[in-house]
Structure 1
């Protein structure tokens, strides 16, 4: 019997999310069941120390399209994302944060842009038509703007928001990006865009609705320093042609 074709893969990295896991996952499943019935949902547990993994296994009884992947230890959001991408079988792959600050319904906007011929479509909180219904704390927003300024200063990226956790890829883009990912932390968003540009993938940035969800897993000072360090690693890798396909070097 031939394997069922999967049109869309939803990839969601999680770490210690037991308190807010079930409701957004079930909502995403109900939406996809109606709008993208030939889908799969990949939750990647990045070495959680609470009951996240057990809850995910229990939720497979309610969500038949849910597949649970696991990193043996906490390696970072980028590592979990890479694991999910490597296992995604869909023609289209949607990446989302576990809290769905950008609602799953916004995926329709990304999909329309992808169907116009783009390889990667990134949701953005920084465009004039972006709809921010609930803002982050002013310190987080300010630090995000500083980080984006640094990125635009030292890397050839001109996007308004690289860090929004809502992105969509063609399978072609996935196959191009996955083997070249090196960053395991939060700066992986920047790296995947650099890889895309280095390999002539077409990238669109579109406005999305976004509402901040409290109880963030981000530690502002520690993670900001880590992201700054990794951004310079990306610059070094780019300068040494480590992101291009061998045939393009």
Structure 2
């Protein structure tokens, strides 16, 4: 793995129902590409059969690596752990439900090759292809949240929450060194830090399918995500991102 081109990081919390299918799809696609890769599953303290299933798959697919949180820490902490252990030139994180098909990674990589440091999948651009939409109230809440995001953190980025983002290794590691948020608003924080450090960010239209079995609680997690925007500003004032 010393000359790995792409590392794919997948956070997994109680994903026994879909993790096998997800890994098979990713491996099936990547094994036919002309670059080297690794797939890193970070088990975030699952209480179901996720750990056993991933171990079984890792015995059969040499490109699969597994990491483990002893208890549930959150998506931000989990992806950070995956990034810090990755060996790729480019580091992609994707959700375990594959709402964005793995084939879309080529769109992100193409922009990194053009000199961008971070390329993020976006559902909010007019060129994006949303094949299955979220319920109307989630889409509305997402638009309202993005207004706060643009006002308080990363103006100009229309979709910070799509779980499909690719980083050049240097950018990923420097951002992780400063990352503080462990839950869902880590995306905003990573982009905020990246922009502060002067990294070039490209928002890229992608194909996306809504998965109705999301683990994001509409009210509870939405409230926490808004509080995290305030935390980001406070962290900035304290010099925690310098």
What is the TM-score normalised by the length of structure 2? 0.97
CA-CA distance at 1:34 after TM superposition: 1.0
CA-CA distance at 1:204 after TM superposition: 0.5
2:2/2:87 contact within 8 Å kept: no
- Name the count of aligned residue pairs: 242
What 5-or-longer segments of structure 2 have no aligned partner? none
Residue of structure 1 aligned with 2:82, choices 81, 84, 98: 84
Q: 1:247 aligns to what?
A: none
Residue of structure 2 aligned with 1:99, choices 74, 97, 104: 97
What 5-or-longer segments of structure 1 have no aligned partner? 245-249
Distance 1:24 1:36, change over 3 A: farther
What is the TM-score normalised by the length of structure 1? 0.94
Structure 1 CA distance, aligned partners of 2:39 and 2:197?
Answer: 28
4+ residue runs over 4 A deviation: none
1:26/1:63 contact within 8 Å kept: no
Structure 1 CA distance, aligned partners of 2:150 and 2:86?
Answer: 30
Within the alignment, does 1:21 sit opposite 2:22 as a pair? no
Q: 2:191 aligns to what?
A: 193
Q: 1:65 aligns to what?
A: 63
1:8/1:36 contact within 8 Å kept: no
Once the two structures are superposed, residues 155-174 of structure 1 have per-residue CA deviations (whole angstroms, 9 ceiling, x without a partner) of 24320000000000001111
Distance 1:36 1:167, change over 3 A: farther
Structure 2 CA distance, aligned partners of 1:36 and 1:222?
Answer: 43
Q: 1:141 aligns to what?
A: 139
Structure 2 CA distance, aligned partners of 1:154 and 1:36?
Answer: 41
Q: 1:33 aligns to what?
A: 31
Once the two structures are superposed, residues 159-216 of structure 1 have per-residue CA deviations (whole angstroms, 9 ceiling, x without a partner) of 0000000000001111211110100000000000001011000111010000112211
Structure 2 CA distance, aligned partners of 1:24 and 1:128?
Answer: 28
